[in-house]
Copies of this chain bind each other. A is one copy, B any other.
Amino acid sequence: MPVPETNTNHLAKLLFQVPEPAARQELLHTAQLCLIDYLAAVIAAQDEAAVLNLKQTFASTSFALPALGYQVPLSSDHLALLNGFAAHYLDIDDTNTNLQGHPSGVIFSALLAISDGTESLENLLWAQVMGVELAGQFGHLLNPQLSLRGIHTTGAIGTIAAAAAIAVYKKMSIEATEMLLSIAATQATALEIQVGTDGKPLNAGFAARNAVTAWLCIQAGLHAAPDPFIEDRGWFAALGNYPFNATDLDATWLKPGQIHQPGIWFKTQPFCSEAMSGYAAAQKLHQLGIDMPHCAQITINFPSSVSDALRFDHPQNGQEGKFSIEYVVWLTLNYGVLPTTAFHKGPVPTDFIKDLPKFSRNPMREIPDPTTRPTALTVLTTTGKTLTVRVANPLGSPNNPLSQQDLLAKLLAQLPPYAGATVVNFFHQPIGQQILADLGVLLTKLNNKNLI
């Protein structure tokens, strides 16, 4: 079966199309003129203060807080990219329903990348609160339209949210904050079609990088349009086609805070948070003794109008399976406990493909309360019985939260045994008494593997 030609495939072929030699030579000649002109332009600007400052800033960026697997000095924007990519790679980082995306994976990656260890834990956390606030508020205004049109809000809004967090963290002036947000907003986009590929965690990494780069540009003394969110042709108009007015945020800003309402969904499993209720419902069925061989039909009723995140009803590999409610339910009904390799890049099991015809979707049109995600599984068994299990508040969701102890257990499971006591001790101290140098020591301890 020939693979159908896509737009990009077609375009890529056009790129490699070669004209007649004479035409080619003429084109090359003009390109050479462009090169001469380019060199003139670059060299002409070498003495400009802005260019010198930016050059100096990039050349001297160094990373002082030892963190997360890097022994060689990395520039702070690279570090933000890499940690943002890693934080979102398995899709077990937290989410906020208004953002329809992953705030902490982006925000902390940016903040830690520009830390030297002298900062207080309290300031780090407060900056994250404010980053989440902006992320959730913007998401509430723009979703689901932005997401449905194809923008990945984790990357797009995440860039601006991480920049806002940096402003708070570094206690920047209002004027500098405006410039920072402006340089962030001019970079702030991401495509949602990357779901199910490395492009999705890259979007998180790019968002963290973009925020850090904006901060480096401010350090270099650069200036930018002071009102990137102006209604006429600002970021909201250009990307969201939305008539933004910041005073509309007054009524809800920090009342009580996006981090509390609609809150944060913490994950116990590495798949899309929109499948968490389906997973919990399948777990209940499994506990009732229902497993895949007993199922003749499975109908999944879940909110489909919120986003298209669970887009893979026929996932080909584990990475796509993270965004397939059928795959999550199938795994749970088969195994109870999810296999650790279930969401890797390899192909999905052939048994799953065989069972797929048993599944059907019954989409729910209404948009649920953002603190819940109702999902019902209706099973017709091979003996002709019908059972329905419905879950709206799965473990890890705002109304059924993970405790600090649960989350420490999630972290400790990733660490060598000797690091456990240090980590628990760090997070049991009062927040106000901790500085990031302690986190630095902690992180160094965590980094005994994969150092580069």
**Nearest CB of chain B from residue A232's CB, rounded to whole Å:** 8
**Nearest CB of chain B from residue A217's CB, rounded to whole Å:** 6
With beta carbons under 8 angstroms apart, the residue of B35, B89, B187 that contacts A124 is: B35
For A246, list chain B residues within 8 Å (CB). Answer: 7-8, 10-11, 14
**Nearest CB of chain B from residue A33's CB, rounded to whole Å:** 5
Q: A15-B130, A150-B238 are in contact. Are A8 and B227 (CB under 8 A)?
A: yes
Interface residues on chain A, size class: 35 or more
In the complex, A186 Cα to B187 Cα: how many Å? 11
For A35, list chain B residues within 8 Å (CB). Answer: 104, 108, 124-125, 128
In the complex, A88 Cα to B235 Cα: how many Å? 22
In the complex, A254 Cα to B28 Cα: how many Å? 12
With beta carbons under 8 angstroms apart, the residue of B46, B193, B245 that contacts A450 is: B46
Q: A33-B266, A198-B223 are in contact. Are A238 and B151 (CB under 8 A)?
A: yes
Q: A33-B264, A233-B149 are in contact. Are A54 and B38 (CB under 8 A)?
A: no
Known A-B contacts: A44-B414, A58-B74. Give 19 more (CB < 8 A).
Answer: A8-B246, A11-B229, A15-B168, A15-B177, A19-B257, A29-B431, A30-B263, A31-B125, A32-B125, A33-B402, A36-B404, A37-B94, A39-B411, A43-B414, A45-B87, A55-B70, A150-B235, A193-B234, A199-B222
Query: Which of A23, A105, A174, A404 has the most chain B CB within a 10 Å cutoff?
Result: A174
Cross-chain contact A193 with B225 (CB below 8 angstroms): yes
Q: A35-B104, A59-B72, A229-B11 are in contact. Are A43 and B411 (CB under 8 A)?
A: yes
Cross-chain contact B48 with A90 (CB below 8 angstroms): yes
Cross-chain contact A234 with B7 (CB below 8 angstroms): yes
With beta carbons under 8 angstroms apart, the residue of B30, B124, B411 that contacts A40 is: B411
